[in-house]
Amino acid sequence: HTSSGQLIPSEPLQQSLPPSVDWRTKGIMTPIKNQGHCGSCWTFSTTGTLEAHTCLASKKDCTHWTGLAEQQLVDCAGDFNNNGCDGGLPSQAFEYVKYNGGIMTEESYVYTAKDGKCNTTGMDLGATVDGVFNITSLDETQLVWAIAKVGPVSVAYDVADDFRFYSHGVYDSFNSTTNKTVCATDSGHVNHAVVAVGYGETMESGDDDSVPFYIIRNSWGNTWGMEGHFWMKRGENMCGVSDCASFPLVSATKKHRWNNLRQRKKFADEIVSTAGQ
Q: How far apart are CA 47 and CA 151, in angstroms?
A: 14
The question of whether 218 is a catalytic residue gets the answer: yes
Strand partners, 230: 216
Strand partners, 154: 195, 246
The question of whether 81 is a catalytic residue gets the answer: no
Give me the catalytic one of 82, 100, 218, 260: 218
Please say whether the beta carbons of 129 and 97 come within 8 A: yes
Give me the catalytic one of 41, 62, 239, 244: 41
Nearest one of 19, 23, 11 to 271, comparing CA atoms: 11
Give me the catalytic one of 53, 62, 82, 192: 192
Q: How far apart are CA 154 and CA 55, in angstroms?
A: 16
The question of whether 192 is a catalytic residue gets the answer: yes
Q: How far is CA 146 from CA 11, 153, 154, 266, in A?
A: 16, 7, 11, 11
- Measure the CA angle with vertex 62, ends 57 and 64; round to 5°: 170
Distance between first and last Cα of the chain: 20
How large is the greatest C-alpha to C-alpha distance in the chain, in angstroms?
58
Residues annotated as catalytic are: 41, 192, 218
